[in-house]
Amino acid sequence: MNRETVVAAALDLLDEVGLDAVSTRQLAKRLGVEQPSLYYHFRNKNELLSAMAEAAMAPHATAPLPQPADHWRDWLLENTRSFRRTLLMRRDGARLHAGSMPGGADLDRITRKMDFLLASGLPEREAQMAMLAAGRYTVGCVLEEQADADLGVGTEHPVVPMIDQESAFEAGLALILDGLAQHVEA
């Protein structure tokens, strides 16, 4: 058993039972080990959750970085869509990701993305806020979408209307990018 095995089993458990029901006791049982043996790999549950969040974000972490010829708007749209798709790949993906801190290679990727936005004519403050706003908007949308799915919203319901989650996400994202376009320096 190694860290990757533990994280993979924890993510499978997450998909089956949801974030609130993930426990080191259940994880140890799934792995066929005693609970204290998990602490060889992770000092506590928070460290395990951080590793799970990092592993869950792997599809987005390998998405292409922007190229100099890319248009900032097209790239930011696709980057944000990739982030959303990745969060939706896991049950409670938005909750798992919320509050996690990037590190190592993620920081390098963020720096490259920021450099691209700056080279595209966005002032530094607006580029920072664009990345922050797009990220938090996406996490919030996915959080609501996953909560709605857990509650059965989106099916026939007398009070809550049907919502096309993807169209709603795209409309809000367009508003963010339209506002950002006003700050691009020619």
- Higher-pLDDT residue of 152 and 106 is 106
pTM of the model: 0.90
pLDDT band at residue 89, thresholds of 50, 70 and 90? Answer: very high
Beta-ladder partners of 153: 155
pLDDT tens column, 117-138: 999 999 999 999 999 999 999 9
User: What distance lies between CA 26 and its chain's CA centroid?
Assistant: 25
Q: How far apart are CA 179 and CA 181, in angstroms?
A: 5
Residue 99: predicted pLDDT: 83
- Return phi, psi of residue 155, to 5°: -100, 180
Nearest by Cα to 70 from 106, 105, 102, 112: 112
For residue 154, pLDDT beyond 70: no
